[in-house]
Amino acid sequence: MLPKMIMQWFAAVCTVLMLSVSAAPAEERPFDEHATEVIYNSLQTESNKSFLKHFYKQLLFLPAWMHEKGPSSAAKGFFAAMKEDFTLDPRSRLYNDARDFEVQAQMLYENGSTFLQKMEMEFKITMLYKAYTDYAYFGSINWGAFQARIVNLKVNGVSTEWVLHRPNVDPIGMVEKALLGADLKKELQDAVPTAYHYRALQRALRHYMAIEVEGGWTPVKLNARKLNPGKRDPGVYSLRERLRVTGEYLTCSESSEDDRYDSCLVEAVKRFQIRHGLKADGVVGPATLRKLNIPVSRWITTIRLNLDRIKWLNPRQPHHHIIINIPFFTLYFEEDGKLVTSIRVITGKPNHPTPIFSDEVEMIVLNPYWNVPKSIIQKEMIPKLLRNPYALKREAIQIYSGWGKDAKVVDPASVNWAQYRYSKYVPYRFAQLPGYKNALGKIKFLFPNKFSVYMHDTPTKRLFLRNKRAFSHGCVRLQEPKKLLETFASFEPIDMEKADRILKGKKNVYMKLKEKVPVDIIYLTAWVDYDGHLQFRDDVYHYDEMQLQSYKRW
């Protein structure tokens, strides 16, 4: 059933409809002409923000769904699109309203119904259309509530942001085209996003929904706290079946299908571990067991949430494209949508999150200076200077009197640093000199933005050995910056031999790119990789948790 508020609105509209019908002349009038008059009169008291008023105004108050002899081709196309949308939960109100309204609309023409009843159904289908297009193209995340939670994080000292790109979809325009002869079902299906492997993730959702219909999977229970390769355990039977359901287990000649944890099953566990961002050692310990026993319904929710996130990402699909997926701690470099290379990255700590936004790489810097952000100066460096005014010397950080070219080096002992510990303005520039100790390493990739976030090298290479790599103050550290430089050199006039000579020294060199390369920093905890495999990762910034608190149920 439609929500109570909408039903109350229908009751009010029905009153206007009855008045409009009773005021009609006795002689028979053309259906569309009469419908247009009734629709126009019925919506006069509606707010200008009303979807119904906006919908019918754009359609010149013509009926979209109910025609003289039966439901319109647009109505048939709309219901067909909903029936073919496998993402709709059969238990949802949206799915059941679509099923009921299609039957009711057809019956109105078979049972000699009144003009008033047809007009009531016209409005009901329009509101159903709004609900469905909101679901299909704008999703279930309450972005207003989420942004409020982001603001609350900022109040508590966690500086972050998620920049949204409203989906470029015109649901009313689709109906307008349908009234002129277009196929509304095709219009609706063609409007489904394609960027960021959206449709592949949709297919993964379909697979997991089918698993749920079949009853999901039986929890894996082991006698041992940790299952090592070659060991025997009664839980091996349930482990094998669990991985068979989601496709990681492939039967091989080495398997005897008994209670021994054989090499065939070990490889299946490794595939599962890789797809969940775990250490792929083939050992079923507490972390792996915990992931194995998460019910299918939870994974379905995670997939749906990430589909809805993709709808609000920058939909561009350029020739060259950099995608950085924070929960995956990976940079992907695409050419015409195909993977060229991937690089491990370090992203911001949970209390210094890397923001979600889009920009373009414009410049590459060899042997960069690191201009220390004000937040780090106040939180980390001034406390050191208060203890020892020359504490930053060992880190090759110099302090300048300002940001201009003529700024002079300042003796840190000559400044009363206590006055700047909590001030809004710090009049000094802290800069770390180029070199192997520099926090930015030897290469920096600039995409100027208000967050002062960029991609760069780092001297702390050991951190890349970890699976979870949220260690920075917000910038994106690269495990292989030279690999990325070489990727740019494949289409930019960059002399790698000359670049290598520069990198051996400390000379600061800027290289402006001829082709600006789009970079999108995204946050997907479920994603289909370039080999077509569904991957899941942990919710490192707790954004899944925050968005699900006000997730819309259809």
Residues near 40 by beta carbon (within 8 Å), at least 6 away in sequence:
56, 61
Sign for the CA dihedral angle at 296, 298, 301, 303 comes to negative
State the alpha helices, DSSP H only, in 416-490: 481-489
Q: What are phi and psi of 358, to 5 degrees?
A: -125, 145
Q: What is the DSSP letter of 232?
A: B
What digits encode the pLDDT tens for the residues 123-180?
999 999 999 999 999 999 999 999 999 988 877 777 789 999 999 999 999 999 999 9
What's the CA gap between 533 and 338, in Å, rounded? 15
| Blockwise average pLDDT, block size 10, the chain, 554 residues | 50 51 53 92 90 95 94 97 94 94 95 90 97 97 95 80 95 96 96 96 97 96 94 96 95 85 96 97 97 97 98 94 98 97 97 95 96 89 94 92 90 94 92 90 95 93 94 95 98 97 95 97 98 97 96 93
Residue 287 contacts residue 227 (beta carbons within 8 Å)? no
Catalytic residue among 320, 352, 456, 473: 456
Could you count the other beta carbons within 10 Å of the beta carbon of residue 478? 25
State residue 173's pLDDT score: 97
What digits encode the pLDDT tens for the residues 25-69?
434 568 889 999 999 999 998 888 899 999 999 999 999 999 999
State residue 236's pLDDT score: 96
State residue 24's pLDDT score: 47
Q: What are phi and psi of 424, to 5 degrees?
A: -75, -20
State residue 5's pLDDT score: 46
Six-digit token pair at 339? 């993977």
DSSP string covering 298-325, please? HHHHHHHHHHHHHHTS-----SEEEEEE
State how far the alpha carbon of 531 is from the alpha carbons of 194, 277, 535, in Å.
Answer: 16, 16, 11
- The rounded Cα 397 to chain-centroid distance in angstroms is 38
Q: If we measure between CA atoms, which residue out of 527, 543, 517, 544 comes closest to residue 310?
A: 527
Sign for the CA dihedral angle at 404, 405, 407, 409 comes to positive
What's the CA gap between 229 and 90, in Å, rounded? 42
- Give the domains, in start order, of the chain with CATH numbers: 4-142+169-190 (no CATH), 236-294 (1.10.101), 317-369+436-522 (2.40.440.10), 373-433 (no CATH)
Could you count the other beta carbons within 10 Å of the beta carbon of residue 504? 10
Looking at residue 64, its amino acid is A
Whether 264 is catalytic is: no
Whether 165 is catalytic is: no
Q: Kindly give the pairing relationship between strand 470-472 and strand 443-446.
A: unpaired
Residues near 150 by beta carbon (within 8 Å), at least 6 away in sequence:
160, 161, 162
